[in-house]
Amino acid sequence: TQLLEQSPQFLSIQEGENLTVYCNSSSVFSSLQWYRQEPGEGPVLLVTVVTGGEVKKLKRLTFQFGDARKDSSLHITAAQPGDTGLYLCAGSNSGYALNFGKGTSLLVTP
């Protein structure tokens, strides 16, 4: 099993602040996904990155895949209470199931 380390594990910020979440591995992945999971629900896909150095934007969320395809980051600008949830990164290698990190639990207070 290829391990993915996420940091920080917990993050509590106020509305309007910026934050970055990191996902690191010693292994190379063909693709990396970011999911958000809300209490009582399954994970929902936010983005998939496949190319080293790739940057994708989803409204206030910016995702970056490392050049060596071993690490990734998620940056949220001007966080809102609706961003609260568990952010999970997951790596995969073509056709195989996802290897998930432990997640970053984010709380955004008004």
Partner 1 sequence: EAGVAQSPRYKIIEKRQSVAFWCNPISGHATLYWYQQILGQGPKLLIQFQNNGVVDDSQLPKDRFSAERLKGVDSTLKIQPAKLEDSAVYLCASSLITGTQYFGPGTRLLVL
Number of chain residues interacting with partner 1 (CB under 8 A): 21
Query: Which of 12, 16, 28, 45 is the binder for partner 1 (CB under 8 A)?
Result: 45
**Residues in a beta bridge with 55:** 64
The backbone torsions φ and ψ at residue 19, rounded to the nearest 5 degrees and listed phi first, read -150, 155
Which is closer to partner 1, CB of 28 or CB of 45? Answer: 45
Residue located via tokens 């970011």: 34
Asked if 42 touches partner 1 (CB under 8 A), the answer is: yes
Asked if 40 touches partner 1 (CB under 8 A), the answer is: yes
How far, in whole angstroms, is CA 94 from its chain's centroid? 19
- Identify which range of 11-19, 37-45, 62-70, 71-79 contacts partner 1 by CB under 8 A: 37-45
